[in-house]
Structure 1
């Protein structure tokens, strides 16, 4: 997400919509090769519950949610 306020808002909304995701984490991540602190992005980190895999529909919903907050979804 582009800034902390946006990331915090997204984290709160996602926590309210999907309490089954447990504790979500807010992380600041500098872009590779960037020295300027303003170039850091904010991440909302979540993990799928182990007992349930992500369906294509759930992943699409997360993509839409991230886009609404000027972000995107990545998998590691």
Structure 2
């Protein structure tokens, strides 16, 4: 078993919350992803923050290409490890 984590970067909180709700149904993940606010360097305004969706994938069964397409639906992307 490996320690695999996927990070999806989403443009705002609404997109991140929608993606977090949809990810279980889309990929059959059993556990809720973690949401984190990632303020851009030098920005104080919360509107200028990106949101990170952290997905644990200990069995390495999530397809990175499918995660790319999933994040793109909300104008986001998957960070490469």
Same fold by TM-score, threshold 0.5 exceeded? Answer: yes
Q: Which runs of 5+ in 1 are unaligned?
A: none
For the Cα contact (< 8 Å) 1:2–1:70, is it kept in 2?
yes
Where relative contact order (Cα < 8 A, 6+ residues apart) is larger, the structure is 2
For 1:31 and 1:44, locate their aligned partners in 2 and report how far apart those are by CA, in whole Å.
16
Task: Normalising by structure 1, report the TM-score.
Answer: 0.78
Which has more strand, going by share of residues?
Answer: 2
Which has more helix, going by share of residues?
Answer: 1
Task: Normalising by structure 2, report the TM-score.
Answer: 0.74
For 1:60 and 1:21, locate their aligned partners in 2 and report how far apart those are by CA, in whole Å.
20
Per the alignment, in what secondary structure is the counterpart of residue 44 of structure 1?
strand
For 1:40 and 1:53, locate their aligned partners in 2 and report how far apart those are by CA, in whole Å.
29
Q: Which runs of 5+ in 2 are unaligned?
A: 1-9
| Number of residue pairs the alignment of both structures matches | 72
Runs of 4+ in 1 over 6 A off after TM superposition: none
